[in-house]
Structures are given as structure tokens and as C-alpha cells.
Structure 1
Amino acid sequence: MPETPTLLFSLEAGVATLCLNRPEVFNSVTKPLALALQQHLRDCQQDASVRAVVLTGTGKAFCAGQDLAEITGPNSPEVSEIVEKHYNPIIKLIRELEKPVIAAVNGVAAGAGANIALACDIVVAKESASFIQAFSKIGLIPDSGGTYFLPRLVGMQRASALMMTGDKVSAAEAAQMGMIYKAFADEQFDSEVAALAKKLASMPTKGLAYTKQLLNSTFSHDLEQQLRAEGDYQLRAGHTADYREGVAAFLEKRQPSFTGQ
């Protein structure tokens, strides 16, 4: 029998879905899964027919982080090597992808799994899902951009407490504190994710990419630098076909039909 793929990929109506597929171990990450995710993110960047990306998991979990069996056996690589070669490239690819990336958190997101989700542009979760900065429970430090994104989302005090205690955060609590965008009732989750992804895939893709690039720089710029950057990107946006279509649709009192160009 052929080996079951660790990552499932589908593309429909401009939405690429990347689904972590190791449900028997809560989608914990191994080298093959990490490298497959990296490659699919690169492919999504290159494929003009992809206009939005959904990252999710099969089974009861979104992602439980690193598969510890991979780093505890004989001749196992150092944890630092795993971070450098597996996780850091995934985080960079998500942030550099010139298309919106939705983390559809269908279950527990722990350790690196939680921080991969938080690196995405929009994070939504089932009400039954939860987020755990689990690193302190095994004597490690938060990686995969966790110490970068979480304080910016929820503040230093709350981030410190969550990372040091490893306390579980429900999806509702995560939404309330600004860690994620929204929590959806479990029975509505799939339809809500599909509607959100469809909406983003039908929007002006280049404009969304420019917005993402400005957000990437906002914490390293002062106000004057960010104002200049906004001017530069607004000039680029103003030369897109989607801008022309958006203005024409507004003046003609109709719905725009964006092409992502």
C-alpha cells in the first residue's frame, strides 16, 4: 500500500488548503511534514491561481508541535537544528507569502503548532479548540516566532504568563484577548472557514499582499518611516488592475470582479 501523505493539498476556486495529516499523533511535526509544508507554501507563492491559503489539520488536533520521538532517539538532531531547518523557514514563508493565510484551528494547537497558527494573517478556531505554549513543560523555550508574535498580540504580561505557566487557553478566551480573530461554534466551523477563504480569494490579491508587507514592517518602523512606506505601497496599489476595477465598480454601482492583478 502507498504511504499516507503527511500533508494533504487541494485547490478550489482560488483557495489552497494545506491540511496536516498525522491525526494519530495529533498532527505533530516530523521532518517530512515540515519539508512538505515548506514546499507547498513555496508552490502557493508561485501559483497565480492561488489567491488565499488555509492551513488546518485532520482529526482532533490542529498541531501538537514537534514529534518528540524524532528528537529523542539515537543519533537524533539537536533541537536547535530542527528549529533552524524545519520551523523557522515555515514561519518566514507564511509571512512572506504574498497572499492571505488563514489558520483554521480545528483542535488543540500546542507548542510550535500554536505559534505556526499565530504567524498566519487570520486565525480562527473551533470553540472546542485550545492553545498551549507547552514548551516550559519540557524545559524548552517558545520557538517558531512565539516570542515575537504572542507579545504583540496579547501584551507582554499575558504572553509572559502563558509561556511560563503553559496554561491552556480556550478558543473563546483567545478571541477575547486578541490572540485570534474569531472562535466559531464547532458545527459552523467548516462553513465559516470556507466563507472567509472564499471572500479573501475574491478580493484584490495584490492590495492584500501590500497590506501584509506593511504590517510586517510596522513594529520595526517609526511613524515617519511607516507613512513613507504606506505612500510607496499606495502608489503600487493605485497601478493595479484591481484598483481600476474597484473604482469602476463603485462609480457604476455594481459589485467589483477582482482578478488578483
Structure 2
Amino acid sequence: MEKQFETLKVKLQGNTAVLSFNRPESLNALNLQMMNELLEALNEIKRNPDLQVLVLKGEGKGFCSGGDIKAMLQMNGEEDFQHFMKVINDLSVTLYTMPKITVSAIHGAAAGLGLSLALATDVIIAEEQSKLAMNFIGIGLVPDGGGHFFMQERLGAQKALHTIWRGDILNGHEALSLGLIDRVTAEGRINEEADEFVRTINHSPVKAMMESKSILRASRKNQLVDMLEMEKEAQWKMRQTNDHMEGIQAFAEKRKPVFKGK
């Protein structure tokens, strides 16, 4: 992969692609440029027959803090919103159905859309002091990026619902106990743990592993696509609510929001 990206780092190591979010000044918040570059990079990795493993990481102090709220505030009407959501949905489907073994290596924050994208991968490893949160509720929105689908897959419908409603911030051990992630490692050891996991994969019958993934993902892909469409419609409705406006204003003012259910 020869192309250089402004918001991502891509490193190829044998049969493994390491893709790092690279907007550390904003805790790797996802703006439209970053999402478009991510989609382009994922499609290049997908097409490369020499690559069998993909590792997602974040530069700086965290994995990904979610969608860039400042960028979202600059969206101009429904047309911009529809385009933004289409890119999000394409990212989720591409990651979920990626014909590689995909790993999210999390340190620091993995929140909102950042957590949704991590949940789209096959294996999630997180440091014990990571902060994982499906916290759209804090700004009066619903999860997107397939958050509902992935939470339901990992937790079951009832636990997923309550976790989404609460919007709790979970550390690595809490997330593992809940069933949200697959492995937890000591603080500062995420890179070593991810490398060790990749070595294990590379001593395994990877083609058989990917074939099982392909079968399971194909059986559920249409449900993901349907749920992404429902999330898009719900997100547009929620953006018109007073509670969302209050959530955004409270976020900007660094205070606790006062929601009124309107």
C-alpha cells in the first residue's frame, strides 16, 4: 500500500496490516476525511491477497473518541447528514465482512462510533484502564455504526439495551466481564499483546478460520444492513430533538446536561 494518508497510519508487516487512527490532537475523533480515508484503506487491504490479518489501533492517548462533534455541528442540513451516515454504514459493513482476521487493540478511550467500529472486528483486546463507552445517550442520540447490532451480538438484546441506555464508561476488566471484549491486558502492554495474538493467528490454519468467519458473517450481513438503515433514520429524528440540542450545548460547556424527554 503505497498511498500516504493524512489521518491514518498504515504499516504492512508480512501478512498483517496495522492501521492506526492518527488524529491524536482530537483523541482520534472521526471526521469525514478520516472516515473516507479509513474506507479507502480498508478496501485496499481487503483486495490484497497477501494480507490475512488486520490490526486497528489509535495513535496518541487513545483508540478513538468517536465521531467528531465539532465536524457534526458544521453539517449543512439533511443532505450532508445522509452522506455522513452512508460513509459510516459502509465502514461498518466493510469491517464486519472483511475477509481477514480483524483485531482491535484498544488503549485509552474507545467511545461512541469508535467503539462501534471496534465491535465490528473479530477480536477486541483492551488495556485494563481503557475507557469503553457506547455513550451516544449523553448527547441525546442513539448508537450508529451498527452499535445496536454489534452490542446485541455480543451481549444479547436485553443487556445491550440496558448498556446503551446507561452509556456507562467501562474499564477493560468490566468490559471483559460483560462480554463486550475478548481479552484484557496490563496498562501499556497493548502493542505486545496484539503482536502476540497475531503470532498465534499465524501459527493457525488461517484459511479455515476465515472460512468460518465468512459463513457466520454472510448469514448476518443483511440484518446488519437493515439495522444500519434504522439507525440512520433514528439518528436524523434524534438530531431534531431538544434533548440533543441540550446534550451538545452541555458538552461544549463541559457541564451535565438537563434532559426533559423532548
Instruction: State the TM-score bracket (shorter-chain normalisation).
Output: 0.7 to 0.9
Q: Is the 8 A contact 1:28 1:65 kept in 2?
A: yes
What residue identity is the alignment partner of 2:46?
A: Q
**In 1, distance between residues paired with 2:220 and 2:93?**
16
What secondary structure sits across from 2:19 in the alignment? Answer: strand
**In 1, distance between residues paired with 2:188 and 2:96?**
30
**In 1, distance between residues paired with 2:163 and 2:82?**
22
**In 1, distance between residues paired with 2:15 and 2:190?**
20
Tell which deviates more after alignment, 70-79 or 193-202: 70-79
Tell which deviates more after alignment, 129-138 or 68-77: 68-77
Say if 2:212 is the partner of 1:211: yes
**For residue 84 of structure 2, what is the aligned residue in structure 1?**
82
**In 2, distance between residues paired with 1:74 and 1:158?**
33
Say if 2:113 is the partner of 1:112: yes
Instruction: Report the CA distance shift for 1:74/1:49 in structure 2 as closer, same or farther (over 3 A).
Output: closer
How many residues get paired? 218
**For residue 63 of structure 1, what is the aligned residue in structure 2?**
64
What residue identity is the alignment partner of 1:83?
A: M
Which whole-Å deviations, capped at 9, do the CAs of 1:209-232 have from their partners, x for residues lacking one? 2111122245689xxxxxxxxxxx
- Give, in angstroms, the shift of residue 155 of structure 1: 2.2
1:154-233 → structure 2 map (5 Å cutoff): 154-217=155-218
Instruction: Report the CA distance shift for 1:73/1:195 in structure 2 as closer, same or farther (over 3 A).
Output: same
What secondary structure sits across from 1:54 in the alignment? Answer: strand
Which whole-Å deviations, capped at 9, do the CAs of 1:189-241 have from their partners, x for residues lacking one? 211111112322443332222111122245689xxxxxxxxxxxxxxxxxxxx
What residue identity is the alignment partner of 1:82?
A: F
- Give, in angstroms, the shift of residue 153 of structure 1: 0.8
What secondary structure sits across from 1:11 in the alignment? Answer: strand
- Give, in angstroms, the shift of residue 81 of structure 1: 3.2
- Length-normalised TM-score, structure 1: 0.78
Which whole-Å deviations, capped at 9, do the CAs of 1:118-161 have from their partners, x for residues lacking one? 11000110111121111111111111111111022112222112
Q: Is the 8 A contact 1:19 1:55 kept in 2?
A: yes
Instruction: Quote the RMSD (CA, aligned, Å).
Output: 2.1
**In 2, distance between residues paired with 1:147 and 1:80?**
19
**For residue 147 of structure 1, what is the aligned residue in structure 2?**
148
Larger-gyration structure (1/2): 1
The runs of 5 or more residues in structure 1 that have no matched partner are: 222-261
Tell which deviates more after alignment, 42-51 or 12-21: 42-51
- Give, in angstroms, the shift of residue 54 of structure 1: 0.1
**For residue 237 of structure 1, what is the aligned residue in structure 2?**
none
Q: Is the 8 A contact 1:30 1:70 kept in 2?
A: yes
Q: Is the 8 A contact 1:71 1:78 kept in 2?
A: no
What secondary structure sits across from 1:168 in the alignment? Answer: coil
- Length-normalised TM-score, structure 2: 0.77
Instruction: Report the CA distance shift for 1:161/1:4 in structure 2 as closer, same or farther (over 3 A).
Output: same
**For residue 26 of structure 1, what is the aligned residue in structure 2?**
27
Q: Is the 8 A contact 2:127 2:184 kept in 1?
A: yes
Q: Is the 8 A contact 2:21 2:28 kept in 1?
A: yes
Q: Is the 8 A contact 2:97 2:221 kept in 1?
A: no
What secondary structure sits across from 2:63 in the alignment? Answer: strand
Q: Is the 8 A contact 2:64 2:115 kept in 1?
A: yes
Say if 2:50 is the partner of 1:49: yes
**Paired-residue identity, %:** 28
Say if 2:69 is the partner of 1:73: no
**In 2, distance between residues paired with 1:19 and 1:219?**
27
The runs of 5 or more residues in structure 2 that have no matched partner are: 223-262
Instruction: Report the CA distance shift for 1:175/1:207 in structure 2 as closer, same or farther (over 3 A).
Output: same
What secondary structure sits across from 2:46 in the alignment? Answer: helix
**In 2, distance between residues paired with 1:74 and 1:122?**
33
Q: Is the 8 A contact 1:15 1:198 kept in 2?
A: no
What secondary structure sits across from 1:216 in the alignment? Answer: helix
